Every structure is written in structure tokens, then in C-alpha cells.
Structure 1
Amino acid sequence: MKKIVFALSIMILFTNLKAQTMQNTKELSDRIQVIEDKMSIKNLVDTFSVLADQKETQKQTLLFTENASVESRVNGQPGMTLTGRKQIGDAFSSYLSLFETVYHINGQQTIELKENTASATSYCMVILIGMEDGKKIKTTMGVYYYDEFVKENGCWLITKRTSNFIWQEKEEVE
């Protein structure tokens, strides 16, 4: 009888250990997925900036969903709203063509995940160098983006971007 009780105890112990191991594996897998998703979103925002700096607006628009929207706000006041990849791409291309140098420096970012959607606030300094009234002018802007994302076919895309232009400085450069 003692042998049967001992054998049952060992079986229950191993069953509990296996269940606990499976639960720990799932928790670890879920935590790794969160890290991968956050890294993918950070990479998406950084890629957006790099492509803007390179004036690769056609590639940049592919970072958005087909029906995405981009809204600009200057000093808290609503600006223009763009809808769809074509309109976004045309506006970005037109604007960036005004400058010989475009340079984004991305900073801190917070990301909130909810299954296959996410939102983030990302801070950025944007430097633009172009000609104004026959002079080379450097415009430096403090911007933060509020983005909404969706995961489609395993890839994160921007579905809505609100660009908040908070401050701006201009100076002539040699």
C-alpha cells in the first residue's frame, strides 16, 4: 500500500511540475512577444524618420496602412489632415523637396500594447535646412508624435499619426 501511495505521490508531483513548467513557458513566450512587438514598433518609428531623412517617401508610405491618416498640429492648433497612402506620400514628398537636408533625432518613446493594436508617444527633434529669401536657413523643431498602430500579417503599421509641432527655431547657416 505504501508503494502505491508513494507512486501516486510521485505521479502527482511530476504532473504538477509539468503543468507549472508549461505555464512558465507560456508566460515567458508572452513576455518575449511583448518585447518583440515593442522593438518592432520602435524600429517602425525610427525607419519612418530615416526614410524622411533620405527623402524616400514612397517607401515611407508603406509604413502606413492603406487608409491611414496623418494630422498635423502646430502649437496645439489643428493643421492639415491627410488620408490614405497616396495623399500622405504626395504631401510628404512635396514638403521634403523644399529642403536640401532633413535630419530626425528620435528620443524617448512609450508604447501601450493591446493584442494586435498599439499606441505610442514618440519625441523627436527635426532639423531642416533649405533656402529662404536667398539665404540658407536651418529650422529646428521639437515634435512629438502620437501614433496608433495595427499588426497586419505579422507586421506593425501606422494607422494614425498625430504630429505635434511644439516649438521651432530658425537661424541662418553658412
Structure 2
Amino acid sequence: MNSKETEDKISLRELVDSISILADKKDVHAQVQLFSENATSETYVNGKPFLKLKGRIEMEKGFAKFLKNVEIVYHFNGQQQVTIQGNSATGTCYCLITMIGTEDGKKIQTTIGAVYQDTYIRENNRWLINERIGNFEWQEKHKINP
């Protein structure tokens, strides 16, 4: 691996981590700026379509709606593999998502095991996500003490 490829892999990891950190802060406006203008984001829960969004404006509205009843959210990104080909790349990232919110007047913790399949593009010398497919492969919910 040459130094340019190493730099790109570090930049792609920072991109994925930045998207997660901004989601944790619920700063969806800043988060969607890390996607290309006409990017797509699809989410599947147990293999079934849950959310399909295209473009930053639609993504901002969709992400905000998804998080509206969530008080606290944490993403823990794990393994990531990327393949780089010039100004485009593909990658897979495993993520553990923990959300705490209120459902029916009770504090509920939801933990999700997610795998993201991303397509990246380099625009104006920076990496952006052009397509993200999120597979929420498992989910666990339980009541927590306030």
C-alpha cells in the first residue's frame, strides 16, 4: 500500500466516523454535508425496506424525523474495509448503535447491529458518501430506569 492509499483509507475512516459523531450530536444538517449533493441512503430492517432517501434535503428531513423521539444516540464504529479506485471507493463498516428515548411514557434503550455498505466519491479533493445502504441486522429493546 502506498502513502496516497494510506491517506485515502484514513480519510474514509474519518468520514464514516464524522457522520456517526454528527448523528450522535443530532446535527443532521452538518451530517448530510458529508454526502454528495444527490447521494442516496437506504435503510433495511431485518432485510425489509425501512427508509429510502435521495439528496441532502430529503436526507436531512428523514434523518431528523428518525431521531425526533431519541434523546441520546451513540454510534460505535467497528471494522471497516475499503477498496479505492482513483476518485471512487467502496466500503463496508460495522456499527453498534445505541439509542435512548421515551415510548409510551417509559425510557427505552434500543441497540442495533448495523452494517453499512458505502460508495464514496472524491469531489473537490475530499471524500463524500455517494450511496449508503444500511442493514439493521438485529435490534434489541428494553426498558431502563430513568
The TM-score, its normalising length taken from structure 2, stands at 0.97
The structure, 1 or 2, with the larger RCO (C-alpha pairs under 8 Å, 6+ apart) is 2
Report the structure number with the largest CA radius of gyration.
1
Partner Cα separation in structure 1 for residue 2 and residue 24 of structure 2? 33
Partner Cα separation in structure 2 for residue 80 and residue 121 of structure 1? 19
Q: Kindly, what percent of the aligned residue pairs are identical?
A: 46
Question: What amino acid does structure 2 have at the position aligned with 1:128?
Answer: M
Kindly indicate which of the two structures has a greater share of residues assigned to helix. Answer: 1
Question: What amino acid does structure 1 have at the position aligned with 2:64?
Answer: S
Indicate the residue corresponding to 2:52 in structure 1. 81
Question: Could you say what the CA RMSD is over the residues aligned between the two structures, in angstroms?
Answer: 0.9
What are the residue-to-residue correspondences of 1:93-172 with 2, within 5 Å? Answer: 93-172=64-143
Partner Cα separation in structure 2 for residue 167 and residue 173 of structure 1? 19
**CA deviation map 1:48-67 (0-9, x unaligned):** 00000000100001000000
Partner Cα separation in structure 1 for residue 24 and residue 88 of structure 2? 27
For residue 81 of structure 1, report the CA deviation from its aligned partner: 1.1
For residue 98 of structure 1, report the CA deviation from its aligned partner: 1.1
Unaligned runs of 5+ in 1: 1-29
Indicate the residue corresponding to 2:26 in structure 1. 55
The TM-score, its normalising length taken from structure 1, stands at 0.82
Indicate the residue corresponding to 1:8 in structure 2. none
**Structure 1 residue runs of 4+, over 4 Å off?**
none
Partner Cα separation in structure 1 for residue 102 and residue 17 of structure 2? 27
For residue 93 of structure 1, report the CA deviation from its aligned partner: 1.1
**CA deviation map 1:112-137 (0-9, x unaligned):** 00000000000000000000011000
Indicate the residue corresponding to 1:36 in structure 2. 7
Kindly indicate which of the two structures has a greater share of residues assigned to strand. Answer: 2
Partner Cα separation in structure 2 for residue 93 and residue 48 of structure 1? 14
Partner Cα separation in structure 1 for residue 133 and residue 69 of structure 2? 22
Partner Cα separation in structure 1 for residue 106 and residue 8 of structure 2? 44
Q: How many aligned positions are there?
A: 145
